[in-house]
Amino acid sequence: MMRLLIAEDDALLGAGLRAALGKWGFGVTWVRYGRAALDMLCAEDFLALVLDIGLPDISGMEVLRQVRAAGNKMPILILTASDSAQDKARFLASGADDYLVKTTDMEELVARLQALIRRSGSGSGLLSVGDLTLNIDSRVLTLHGTPVNVSKREFDVMRVLMEGAGRVLTRTQLEQSLYGSNRSVDSNAVEVHIHNLRQKIGATTLRTVRGVGYTLARPEP
């Protein structure tokens, strides 16, 4: 399970984030104070930190400064009410990996977090869904124990799909997870990768939900 720490003082938003991210398969610890976040980071390991800037005791910027000063390189995503370019530049210059204006769009938040964790090289070394196994360290995909020849991008698409197995992922979610939010992507790049993967693992396993996106089917219990 991908363990996250959320530092957010707003009770309604914090509870909503914990519940929503939990449904996406994250193990979430939620704290409402900056010092509590620092204490948790000293006591436990997390794959990423979702950090509010306006915490009531010490600011999110101070939490960010202390985390980076301690040499902790974990991915940190800033949640902010500000969308000014100056603030965004300040967050990134201070050591944040990404930022998101406070939103109820959980799909975008999940895509951003998965991309940050993936790029950091953290997370479980193996993913298994049915007869498919993905070895993240060796970058090998197997079906029924037999290696499947996939390109780098096809492997990355499979990782996102397997992390979200059983859920429908939109093309936008896949693009953001693979390329980030600020990179131009060919309009049919994801569709090409999906088409190629279907030929290799089977169309019944990797399905298109018309007008919505794609899903990797979980086997029936």
Please determine, for residue 26, whether its predicted confidence score (pLDDT) is greater than 70: yes
Please determine, for residue 82, whether its predicted confidence score (pLDDT) is greater than 90: no
Looking at residue 221, its pLDDT comes to: 47
Looking at residue 7, its pLDDT comes to: 97
Whether residue 13 contacts residue 105, with contact meaning beta carbons closer than 8 Å, is answered with: no
Q: Is the pTM of this model over 0.85?
A: no
**CA-derived radius of gyration, the chain:** 18
Report percent pLDDT > 90 for the chain: 40
State the helix-helix crossing angle for 106-120 and 152-163, rounded to 10 degrees.
Answer: 130
**DSSP-derived pairing of the beta strands 126-129 and 132-135:** antiparallel
Span 132-184, pLDDT tens digits: 888 877 788 999 888 999 999 999 899 888 888 888 888 888 887 777 655 55
Looking at residue 177, its pLDDT comes to: 75
The two tokens of residue 67 are 């985390």
Looking at residue 3, its pLDDT comes to: 84
Whether residue 191 contacts residue 178, with contact meaning beta carbons closer than 8 Å, is answered with: no
**From residue 56, how far is each of 50, 60, 132 by CA, in Å?**
16, 9, 46
Span 37-65, pLDDT tens digits: 999 999 888 889 999 999 999 999 999 99
Q: CA end-to-end span of the chain, whole Å?
A: 19
Q: Which residues of 118-135 are buried (b: 16+ CB within 10 A; e: fewer)?
A: beeebbeeebebbebbbe
**DSSP-derived pairing of the beta strands 140-143 and 146-148:** antiparallel
User: Burial of 70 by CB count in 10 Å (0-12 exposed, 13-18 middle, 19+ buried)?
Assistant: exposed
Q: How far apart are CA 198 and CA 4, in angstroms?
A: 32
Which of the residue ranges 26-40, 87-101, 120-134, 182-196 would you say has the lowest mean pLDDT? 120-134
C-alpha closest to that of 196 among 136, 143, 155 = 155
State the helix-helix crossing angle for 189-201 and 171-179, rounded to 10 degrees.
Answer: 100
Looking at residue 123, its pLDDT comes to: 57
Looking at residue 36, its pLDDT comes to: 96
Domains of the chain by start residue, with CATH: 2-120 (3.40.50.2300), 126-216 (1.10.10.10)
